[in-house]
Structure 1
Amino acid sequence: MAEANPFFQSKEVKEFTKKIEKYHLGPLWEAIPDLMHKEPAPEAVPYLWKGEIIQKLLLEATEIFTPERGGERRAIYLQNPGLKHRQPWGWASTTNTLYAAVQLILPGETAPSHRHTQSAMRFITDGKGAYSIVQGERLFMEEGDFLITPGGLWHGHSHPGDGPMFWMDCLDIPFIYATGGTFFEPHPDGIEPPSLPDDYSARKYRGGMVRPISDRKANVAPLGLYKWKQTEAALAGLSDFEPDPYDGIAVEYINPSTGHTANPNIAAWMQKLPVGYHSKAHRHTYSAIYHVFKGEGYTVINGVRFDWTKGDYFVIPNWAWHEHVNASNEEALLFCANDLPIMEKLGLQREEEYPNNNGYQQVVSEFKPEAGVV
C-alpha cells in the first residue's frame, strides 16, 4: 500500500480533517494508504458450499413458493462471507464482481421472461427436459449444457419434462450494481412466445469448426446453447496431449462469430483433471467460481485445503494462490465461471507463478464449513 506518514496522525492534521469533513470533503492524505494497496487485497474470501445442502434447501423451498413474477426465480445464491457487509443483501456477491446461484425448476413450472443489463450464463448440473427461451428461441437443456444470456436479451424458463432440474447461474450483478448501470424489464407476455425453431442456434452451429456464411458479422450471442457432447469431445481430443500445468485439460466456451468469450463479461470453461493430476500454484487478478461436475479432489487456496466432491461449489478470490489436485481413481471435471473479460477490458489482468517449493504451496489448514448437514 502507499506509505503511511505518522505526521498525518498529529493533532493539527486531525482537527483539519474534521473541519473539511463538514463540507462533505475527504482527506486523501489519510485515505490513500487504505485505498492504494501494493497489490490486490479483495474483501472476498475463499469458501466452499456443499451442493447436497443447497439442493435439499431448494427442494424445501418448493413447499413454500413457486417461481413467479416478483421473485422471478427459485434460486439460492452463494453469498461470500467476506462481502456480507455490502448493502443491500451483500450485493449478492460471490466474488467482488460476480454472483453465482443454484436454481431449481420443477415439471409444469414456468419462470417468467425478463431482461436486464446484467450478463448471465447457466450451467446445467442435474436433470433434463426444461428449456430456456432466449430471444424467441427455445433451448432444451440437459446435464453438462452451457447457456448464455448477455445483457439486454429476453430470457425465461419452462419445464414440460419430468423430474426436477438444477443449474448454476452466474451473473455480473455486483459489478453492474457498483457502476450504477442496472436496468430491469419484465416481459409483457409473462413467458416470451417462440419466434424461432427450437434449438435453432445449436443446430446452426452443429458443425463445430464451421459456421453459416450469414453469420460472418460479429453477433453478441449467435450461439445460445453449448451442448455437453461437443464439450466432452473437445476435452477427449485435448486429452491426447500434456495437460496445462495450472488448469489441467481445459477448453473455453467462445462466441463463434468473434472468437472471444461466449459471454462478453463472464468467461467460462471446463477443466478435466486426470487421475493423479496436481497442478502448480499460481494467482491472477480475475476471480473464479467453480462447480464440481464430476469426481472428487481438493484445491489449496492461500495455504488452506478445500476438499470437494461432485456437486460442490467453491470460490477463488482475485489474487489468491491456488492449485488443484485429483487424488481419486477417476477423472475430475470442474466447470469454471470467472471475470477475466472484465479484468482484460479494464487493463487489470495479471498472472503470477508461485515462486517457492517448486511451485506447490504448503498446506497449513483445512477448510471446515460453518454449517452441518441439513
Structure 2
Amino acid sequence: MANQEKPALTEERKQFYEKIDKEHLAPLWTVLSDLVTPEPTSACVPHLWHYEPLRRYLLESGGLITAKEAERRVLVLENPGMRGTSKITTSLYAGLQLVLPGEIAPAHRHTQSALRFVLEGANAHTTVDGEKTNMNFGDFVITPPMAWHDHGNQSEDPMVWLDGLDIPMVSFYDASFAEAFEQDAQPLSKGVGDSPARYGANMLPVDFAAKGLASPIFNYPYERSRESLDVMKRQEEWDPCHGLKLRYINPVDGGFAMPTIGTYLQLLPKGFSTAPYRSTDATVYVVTEGAGKTTVDGQEFNWGPKDIFVVPSWKWSTHVVSEEAVLFSFSDRAAQQKLGFWREDRQNN
C-alpha cells in the first residue's frame, strides 16, 4: 500500500460518515490501512506452557468431572493475546485431554478436523469410523471431518494427549456441524490394523476411491516415525533453519495428512542452533524429547520434554538445543498453501 496514513477527520467528513452509517455503509478509506496490511498482524503472541503444572491441573479436573459428563475432558490452551476465544493461534485450537482408566469419551462426529498427539500413557485407544487403534506415547492420530470417533482407556494409568483442531477456521466459514452417536462406544466394523495394512505399505486397494481429503491412515506410530529420523540423521544433511524436519503425508497423493492442518516431526541434534526463520503459518510445537531454548522476536523460552509452545505468524524464531530434541508441530500451512497465502523467509547462516 502506497499510503498508510488515514485521511484527516474533518467536520464535513464526520457528518458524511454519520449520514451513511444509517444506511449500514462505511468509508473504506478510514479502515483500508487496517484491512490490507504491509505485513501480517495478529493478536497471537508467543507463549510456552510447561507440562508438569498442566498435568497437575488436568488430573485435578479428573476428580471434578467425568469424561462422559464433560463429553471431552479438556483444558484449552488459550493464547494470552486472545483470551476467551479458545484459540492457540488465529486459526487453530489446542487443548490437553485426559481419559482416566476405565473411562470412555463418548462417540460423536463434527465438521472440524482433529489431531491427537499422545503425551502420556499406553494402550488406550481411539475408534474412528468403526476401526480401533491403540494409542501410545508420541503417536500422531487423525480424526477426519465428520468421522465418528470415541476414546477409551483400558489401561491402569491416565491417558493424556494434545488435541489440535481447525475450530476457528470452520467457525470463520460458518460451516460447523456436530452430532452425538446413540451409544458411548461405536460398534467395530474393521479389524485392528486394517488401515495401515490397506494403505500404509506403499500400496492401495486396486479399486480404491478416496472418501475425503484426509489420509486414510489415522494413526502414525511414533516408533516408526522416530526410526525414520534416526536413519536420516546419519547423512548429516541438516537444514539450517529446521535441522531434520519431516512432514506427515497422505499416502494417496503425497499431500498433507489433514486437509487444513500441516503436521511435522523434526530432529535437532545436541548443540545445534537454527538460523532465523519466519513464515505466515503460526505454529504450535510439542517437545517430544530433549531440551533447548527457542527465541521468538527476542523473547526466550526454555523448554523440556512435553512442554508446548507457540510461534506466531511472521515472527523470527530460532532454536538452540542443549540435548538432542524431537519436536512435533502443527500449523495451518496445509490450508494456506491450498489458498496461495503461505510465505516463508530465511536468514541462512
**In structure 1, the residue corresponding to 2:254 is in which secondary structure?**
coil
Aligned to 2:198: 204
Could you tell me which of 258, 263, 270 is aligned with 1:268? 263
The answer to whether the aligner puts 1:311 opposite 2:303 as a matched pair is no
The amino acid across from 1:195 in the alignment is S
**In structure 1, the residue corresponding to 2:68 is in which secondary structure?**
coil
**In structure 2, the residue corresponding to 1:20 is in which secondary structure?**
helix
Contact 1:251 1:269 in 2 (8 A): yes
Stretches of structure 1 that go unaligned for 5 or more consecutive residues are 360-374
Could you tell me which of 110, 113, 119 is aligned with 1:116? 110
Q: 2-side partners of 1:143 and 1:63: how far apart?
A: 23
Alpha-carbon distance, 1:270 to partner: 0.8
Residue 315 and residue 2 in structure 1: after superposition, are their counterparts in 2 closer, same or farther (change >3 A)? farther
- Superposed counterparts of 1:1-374, under 5 Å: 3-5=3-5, 7-68=7-68, 71-84=70-83, 89-90=84-85, 92-205=86-199, 207=201, 210-214=202-206, 216-219=208-211, 220-241=214-235, 242-326=237-321, 328=322, 330-354=323-347
Q: If the length of structure 1 is used for normalisation, what is the TM-score?
A: 0.89
Residue 275 and residue 4 in structure 1: after superposition, are their counterparts in 2 closer, same or farther (change >3 A)? closer
Number of residues of Structure 1 aligned to a counterpart in Structure 2: 346
Stretches of structure 2 that go unaligned for 5 or more consecutive residues are none
Q: 2-side partners of 1:205 and 1:184: how far apart?
A: 28
The amino acid across from 1:251 in the alignment is L
Q: Which moved more, 1:290-299 or 1:195-204?
A: 195-204
- RMSD value over aligned CA atoms? 1.6
Q: Which moved more, 1:15-24 or 1:333-342?
A: 15-24
Contact 1:294 1:311 in 2 (8 A): yes
**In structure 2, the residue corresponding to 1:34 is in which secondary structure?**
helix
Contact 2:137 2:222 in 1 (8 A): yes
Q: 2-side partners of 1:226 and 1:124: how far apart?
A: 11
**In structure 1, the residue corresponding to 2:238 is in which secondary structure?**
coil
Q: If the length of structure 2 is used for normalisation, what is the TM-score?
A: 0.95
Deviations 1:322-346 (A, max 9, x none): 11110x2x31111101110111122
The amino acid across from 1:337 in the alignment is F
Q: 2-side partners of 1:310 and 1:270: how far apart?
A: 14
Residue 23 and residue 334 in structure 1: after superposition, are their counterparts in 2 closer, same or farther (change >3 A)? same
Q: 1-side partners of 2:111 and 2:6: how far apart?
A: 45
Q: 2-side partners of 1:206 and 1:314: how far apart?
A: 31
Q: 1-side partners of 2:53 and 2:23: how far apart?
A: 50
In percent, how many aligned pairs have the same letter?
Answer: 39
Residue 212 and residue 325 in structure 1: after superposition, are their counterparts in 2 closer, same or farther (change >3 A)? same
Residue 31 and residue 332 in structure 1: after superposition, are their counterparts in 2 closer, same or farther (change >3 A)? same
Alpha-carbon distance, 1:216 to partner: 5.0
